[in-house]
Amino acid sequence: MNSTSERRRLAQLEALLRKAYDDCRALQVQLDEARSQVRQLEAERLDRLQLADRLAASNAEAAELMAELEERNSSLRSSNLELARANANAAELMAIVEIREDENQRLTRSLSSANARAAELVAEREIELEEKERLNKKLVREISERRKAERENAALALQLKTANEELDRLATLDSLTDLLNRRGLTRELDAELHRAARTGTQIGVLFADFDDFKSMNERFGHSGGDVALKEVGRRMKASLRSTDHLARIGGDEFLALLPAVERETLELVARRLHTSACGQAVRIRDEEVTVTISAAAALLPADVTSIDAILGLTRNAQKHSKESGKNRITFVE
């Protein structure tokens, strides 16, 4: 039962009580009137015996009124009982209302506590959100800085790679002629030896140096000798195949590797190299200077696997070219 229904019922009961009370008052008034009439009749009876019949009639009427009064009293008792029940119900309802009010107060206190806690949670949530936003901004900055650092690192790595490649190139090239140096030729020799082992092919070598290079330096100085070295090196490089490797291994000494050759190809390339190097004069300080080379050519045996071993293999043949009049090629048999 809700509060509205309870209040409506209480109002109805109060209306019934007021009506019963008004009825009782009306009956009391009538009873008073009846009693007054009885007293008047009694006086009249005493004073006027002749009015006995009328007194009897009045008595009868009084009896009727008394009966009616009794009936009204009975009705009043019923009304009182109903009022008592209504009062009991009202008390019960009041108790329920008080319980409900206590419950409402408890619920109100709980609601107030819940609202206070909710406000605290909202405040904590706002603080957490602000902290998360701050952390997110910090994270975004860190990610941006990290990406920037990664880009910078990538750029530095590329620069380092380029620098390393350039260093490696410089480390493997002769600074004067831009041909391979001894280190660069060693790397190529290792690769060609592995390739020859896989394919079953042979590697040819050409070892050459200038004839009378000392006298050229004495005549033109080292700068003049450098001009001759660069030009002859360029000519020898141009005469080789694209798969061949040419290095300046020191002073005026050059060594070429010719992978995948037979004896006939080795001889052909060797003679083409010699002709290219010596077939035309070199211009040094406005002078046309004839340059010749003495060379040795060989097919590498299986046990020759280093630059020193190649030089050991070809040194005598190259010496033979010198001793046989220079400006020639001797083949190692």
> pLDDT of 5-49, one tens digit each?
888 888 888 888 888 888 888 888 888 888 888 788 778 778 777
Return d(Cα 318, Cα 332) in angstroms, integer: 9
SS3 of residue 332 by DSSP: coil
Q: Which amino acid is at 246?
A: L
> pLDDT of 242-274, one tens digit each?
999 999 999 999 999 999 999 999 999 999 999
**Tokens matching residue 88:** 């009991």
Return d(Cα 210, Cα 229) in angstroms, integer: 9
SS3 of residue 283 by DSSP: strand
35-49, 128-142, 316-330: least confident range: 35-49
Whole-prediction pTM = 0.54
**Tokens matching residue 237:** 């490089």
Task: Tell me: pLDDT of 282 over 90.
Answer: yes
Q: What integer pLDDT is reported at residue 44 of this predicted model?
A: 76
Beta-bridge mates of residue 282 = 289
Q: At what angle do helices 182-199 and 52-172 cross, to 10 degrees?
A: 100
CA angle 328, 257, 293 (to 5 degrees): 20
Strand pairing class (203-210; 253-259): antiparallel
**Tokens matching residue 100:** 């409900």
> pLDDT of 141-196, one tens digit each?
888 888 888 888 787 777 657 555 556 666 899 999 999 999 999 999 999 999 99
For the stretch 67-79, what's the b/e string if a residue is b when 16 or more beta carbons lie within 10 angstroms of its beta carbon? eebeebeeebeeb
